[in-house]
Amino acid sequence: MNAERSAIVLTGCTVVDGRVLEGVAPLVDAAVWVRGERIEAVGPAPEVLAAAGAAGDFRQVDLAGAYLTPGLVNMHTHLSLSLPGQGGDAVKGLGAYELAHYMADGARRTLLCGVTTVRCVAEKDHADFALRRAITSGWVTGPRIFTAGQALVCTGGHGHEGTDTLECDGADGFRRGVRRQVKAGADLIKVMISGGIAGEHESIHTRQLFPDELAAVIETAHAWGRKVTAHAGPAPVIAEAVERGLDCVEHGYQLTPEVTALMAERGTALVPTLLVTRCEEFFDQLGVPEWMRRRSLDAGPRHLESYAMALAAGVEVLLGSDMPPFWQFEGTNASVRELEHMSESGLGPARALYAGTLGPVRWLGAEADLGTVEPGKCADLIAMDGDPLTATSAFRSVRWVMSGGRIVRDDRTGWNAS
């Protein structure tokens, strides 16, 4: 578990990151010198090897022709997800200690997939804060966690059945809800402002918050320096929230050209979670009820149209799977499958790389530490055989993962941190 974090020089790789959109070309025959948790240097192999050698001992790791990118960032994660149906009921039935272990197992699997950072947007019982402490303390292997704690929802609103949401009513109630998450350690606030797929007594287009409640969430969160993201489907509800300063929209099932233009103008990001309306196999595995399966799959075509409108308007789109990020699905994991959908539905490979790495990191305000392969950044790196600028499916070939300078997976040696 506690593999040493001495100096390592990675060789035999092509380095590429989201700055490719800003004119930074991939670096072929590169080397990356990692010292402790961070990247010390990136450049042509002879130069980097010489500099590392002059500084002392190091271990050379030959990546054998791999493409090296920053680790993926999944912006819509639930490690304690429990959808309606048998699979979800089993999670709901876990005791507190069991839930902690269950989430730790998901965190480890997530990291081994090459997802080195997650943004959790509704987790049960504040167990996410304990998990984050366990990861940063080195007790548990997992990704970096940015979390909203519990999502805020009106009484009976979307997701109210579980302990991953907090029911609030009235402006005061929502202010208190925001403050309770911040008190527990939340990095951002998640609020449900419309109905969704997984709620039996609602429809996707149900408005769920009154204007004063919505304003209370956004103003209180911003006053504490926290961004707000909203579970939201219909365009009029989203438009109102964007006008009030909402920072991010989840799903966006029913966007219009008008609301996407407004989002682009205000810099409101979209985490489209395209998988949610095209994950039949996952619903089968969990045994979700028929009404939910139908509502989900029926929403698929309109959901994809919304995504296309967002791209056309220039809205920033970010990777987020909603499904557990590590879930094995259609020959890969949910994070990579979502990125493939985003890429193939109009984004293309270079922008998909950005949407899965640097874009999310910028939204999280973590660019000083994460998101690119540059000196001074944390060494959260993944290596794959395919070229991610040719096809996003290259991420299916991830075979090596480093987190904070520690190699946690290397398929060539059979090592993984499990």
Q: Please tell me whether residue 128 binds Zn ion under the rule CB under 5 A.
A: no
Question: Does residue 246 contact residue 217 with C-beta atoms inside 8 Å?
Answer: no
Q: Which is nearer to Zn ion, 364 or 417 (CB)?
A: 364
- From the CB of 182, what's the least distance to Zn ion, in Å? 20
Q: In the bound complex, what is the minimum distance in angstroms from residue 237's beta carbon to Zn ion?
A: 17
- Min dist CB 297 to Zn ion, Å, is 17
Find the shortest distance in angstroms from Cβ 248 to Zn ion: 13
What minimum distance in Å lies between the beta carbon of 224 and Zn ion?
23
If the CB atoms of residues 250 and 316 are measured against Zn ion, the closer one turns out to be 250
Q: Which CB atom, from 162 or from 388, has the smaller least distance to Zn ion?
A: 162
Letters for 274-313 (x = contact with Zn ion by CB under 5 A, - = none) are: ----------------------------------------
372 half-sphere exposure, CB direction, 13 A CA radius: 20
* Per rule CB under 5 A, count of chain residues that contact Zn ion: 1
Query: Which residue, chain included where needed, has tokens 């090592």?
Result: 415
Whole-angstrom CA distances from 395 to 71, 232, 234, 367, 387 are 10, 29, 32, 22, 8
Instruction: Please identify, using beta-carbon distances, which residue of 202 and 322 lies nearer to Zn ion.
Output: 322
Q: Rule CB under 5 A: which of 306-325 touch Zn ion?
A: 322
Closest CA to 316 of 285, 381, 360: 360
Distance of alpha carbon 37 from the chain centroid: 21
Question: How many Cα atoms occupy the beta-carbon half-sphere of 396 within 13 Å?
Answer: 13
DSSP symbol at 23: T
Q: How many CB atoms lie within 10 A of CB 364?
A: 21
- CB of 315: closest distance to Zn ion in angstroms? 19
Q: Shortest Cβ contact with Zn ion: which residue?
A: 322
For residue 89, is it left (φ>0), alpha (ψ between -120 and 50) or beta? Answer: alpha
Q: Quick one: which H or E segment has residue 135? A: helix 127-136
Cβ closest to Zn ion, residue 240 vs residue 322: 322
Written as six digits, the tokens of 357 are 């790495």
Whether the CB-CB separation of 292 and 194 falls below 8 Å is answered with no
Integer Cα distance of 221 and 181 in angstroms: 10
Phi, psi of 25 (to 5 degrees): -75, 155
Return the number of the residue (213 or 322) whose C-beta is nearest Zn ion: 322
Using the minimum distance from each CB to Zn ion, give the nearer residue, 320 or 405: 320
Closer residue to Zn ion, CB minimum distance, 306 or 403: 306
Q: How far is the CB of 123 from Zn ion (least distance, A)?
A: 10
Taking the CA atoms of 122, 272, 250 and 182 in sequence, report the sign of the dihedral they define: positive
Shortest reach from residue 405's CB to Zn ion, in Å: 31
Q: Which residues bind Zn ion (CB under 5 A)?
A: 322
